[in-house]
Amino acid sequence: MNRRPTLEDVAARAGVSRALVSIVIRDAPGAGVQTRARVLAAADELGYRPDARARMLGRSRTRLVGVSFGVAHAFHGDLVDGLYVAARDAGYELALSAATARRGEAEALAGLEQDRCEGLVLLGPQLPTARLVAAAQHLPVVVVARAVRSRAIDVVRTDDAAGLHLTVDHLTGLGHRRIAHVDGGSAPGAADRRRGYAEAMARHGLTAHTCVVPGGLTEDDGAAAADALLALPRRPTAVAAFNDRCATGLLDRFRRARVDVPGEVSVVGFDDSRLARLSHVDLTTVAQDGDGLAALALGRVIARLDGAPVDRREVVLPPRLVVRGTTAQARLDSLD
């Protein structure tokens, strides 16, 4: 538990200069084969580990990208995974900073700003735009999964409207016409999803059947919406929920009311979260391309760092429909 060995220690043991050890450790050219082996052996014997922080200090570039994420969001986990992969490929390191119940996003961001990052990737930040813009004045900032109205910030997100187009197309393909949408209120993305729903319904000539029920992000919101739907004189045969949690609430309420899913009503979620994949939920849903978002986000940060021209401030990725067990052919007797 004594002081951790430094380059100097390794140099002394191998009988060479500090600089040479540095060369060997970095695997840089300029060292003889035998010496290289000797140095490596000495480093190994001492259990030497390069000090990443000192290393970055000495170097002009840190090749460090800061990432803030919400510890409660399962999807952020997928994004972090994708970011690690992308960073490894590009030769960058990641510095994580979590937003938790008692450690706000402001703190998470401030932490990264002290950490010598060259750029920042913020996952679904709820911070005021002004704060994001302030951060972007010092280093390139890419926001993932949230729209930001500012020319100072790069945004990478999923095409929410397209997600509902996919959903409605799928449902009409199954013969559904009375398709309702349980929306997300003022949640990020909700407006786009509402718009996508309305557009798609219109495209299929179903404007008359358009029906938006107020919902929200949680199971309880879904449950409440289910009650509202069940009370309707002419129930919809399919429901496009704002997200998977909301859809789960719907499913539960329908099941309790002995309304068969997908026999009597089809349900589609949004997110393809773990929840949707559970075998006993088996929810048809819209999946976001986590790896795509991650790779694109990191790519943009790096492009900015390299001074490469970045064309658009906002990149929107198409989602993908994952068909599972909560959608089925509309029953003939239920058609208009």
Contact 120, 65 (CB under 8 A): yes
Q: How far is the CB of 257 from a copy of itself (least distance, A)?
A: 12
Residue in 12, 40, 46, 55 binding DNA, rule: CB under 7 A: 55
Residue in 249, 262, 269, 319 binding a copy of itself, rule: CB under 8 A: 249
Q: What are the structure tokens assigned to 300, written together?
A: 């943009």
Contacts of 199 (CB under 8 A, 6+ apart): 161, 165
CA distance 286 to 296: 20
Question: If contact means CB under 5 to 8 A according to the sort of partner, which of DNA, a copy of itself, none does residue 47 touch?
Answer: a copy of itself
- The mark string for 29-68 relative to a copy of itself (x by CB under 8 A, - otherwise) is ------------------x-xxxxxx-xx-----------
139 binds a copy of itself (CB under 8 A): yes
CA distance 44 to 46: 5
Residues in 60-119 at the binding interface with DNA, rule: CB under 7 A: 60
**Cβ-based burial of 229 (10 A; exposed 0-12, middle 13-18, buried ≥19):** buried
Nearer to a copy of itself, 160 or 244 (CB): 244
CB count within 10 Å of CB 19 equals: 12
26 binds a copy of itself (CB under 8 A): no
Q: Do you know the residue count of the chain?
A: 336
Residue in 20, 65, 142, 168 binding DNA, rule: CB under 7 A: 20
3 binds DNA (CB under 7 A): yes
285-287 and 320-322 strand pairing: antiparallel
Q: Is the dihedral of CA 164, 170, 172, 174 positive or negative?
A: negative
Contact 139, 120 (CB under 8 A): yes
100 binds a copy of itself (CB under 8 A): yes
Question: Per CB under 7 A, which region of 42-50, 141-149, 262-270, 311-319 contacts DNA?
Answer: 42-50
Question: If contact means CB under 5 to 8 A according to the sort of partner, which of a copy of itself, DNA, none does residue 167 touch?
Answer: none
- The mark string for 201-240 relative to DNA (x by CB under 7 A, - otherwise) is ----------------------------------------
DSSP assignments along 192-237, one per residue:
HHHHHHHHHHHHTT-GGG-EEE---SSHHHHHHHHHHHHTSSS--S
Provide φ and ψ at 142, rounded to 5°: -120, 125
Residue in 28, 33, 101, 332 binding a copy of itself, rule: CB under 8 A: 101
Query: Residues in the site for DNA, rule: CB under 7 A?
Result: 3-4, 6-8, 16-20, 22-23, 25-26, 28-36, 48-51, 54-55, 57-60
Query: Residues in the site for a copy of itself, rule: CB under 8 A?
Result: 1, 4, 47, 49-54, 56-57, 71-72, 74, 77, 80-81, 84-85, 88, 93, 95-98, 100-103, 111, 113-116, 137-140, 219-220, 223, 248-249, 252-253, 255, 274, 278-280
